Amino acid sequence: MPQLQQSTVRNRVLRAMAPEDFARLAPHLEPIALQLREVVIGPDAPVDDLFFLESGMVSISTAHDERRVEVGLIGREGLVGAVPVALDCLSTPHVYFVQLSGEAFSIGRAALCAALDESPILRRLLLRYVHTLIVQITQTAYAHASLSLEGRLARWLVMCHDRSDSDELVLTHEFLSMMLGVQRAGVTLAIQNLEGAGRIRAKRRRIEVLDRDRLLALTNGSYGTPEAEYARLIEGA
């Protein structure tokens, strides 16, 4: 099998690596398919494998099944499992599950940690990514505390839009209510209000983004800081 080439991958962390660091990881990267709602890292379970997403999205959420709330979102800009592994933790209390099916490269914890031990530059890059994810999580906490449901939904849709190849997002009201930590009726009303204002178009199991700028206007500063940190620390490195 020919060796994976850095120029062919879509994951932005892999693309941001120094060529010699990518070469360290390439023999250990295994292409896999991620299925909708698949749990890739369970709560309090050993983090044995990590995932560089090429497409699709993975949610980081609280582990309470009766009131699960999303606290973080990872797409092809990131590495699923980076926080517990980079910070030398064996596990995490959160659950990481597939929100939108897609493709990824998996890598074993041992192989990644060996590469981090060999390359301080690679370790710095991964820690910088961890920082941007922590900033995203703090902005999510701010959004939950200060925004209306419509504002929180608008922020979440823009974040999903960033990680999608289309203006049309595959989402159900049930899933949205779980991710936003509210009743389904509240999500339905918020969607209707956003649609009535011409910001989105709701379809069965899908939401189409019509006016991204007007969605951003509802986020009240809760969107943009993590994205700017990512551009500065990862893509500007």
pLDDT on residue 218: 96
Contact 3, 27 (CB under 8 A): yes
pLDDT on residue 65: 61
148-219: CATH topology = Arc Repressor Mutant, subunit A (1.10.10)
Residues of the chain with pLDDT under 70: 1, 64-67, 237
Neighbours of 113 (CB within 10 A): 15
C-alpha–C-alpha distance, residues 216 and 64, integer Å: 30
Q: Which residue in 43, 69, 40 sits closest to 52, CA to CA?
A: 40
3-state secondary structure of 157: helix
Fold match flag (6-142 vs 148-219): no
pLDDT tens, 126-140?
999 999 999 999 999
Domains of the chain, residue spans: 6-142, 148-219
pLDDT on residue 39: 95
3-state secondary structure of 57: strand
C-alpha–C-alpha distance, residues 75 and 58, integer Å: 6
3-state secondary structure of 72: strand
6-142: CATH topology = Jelly Rolls (2.60.120)
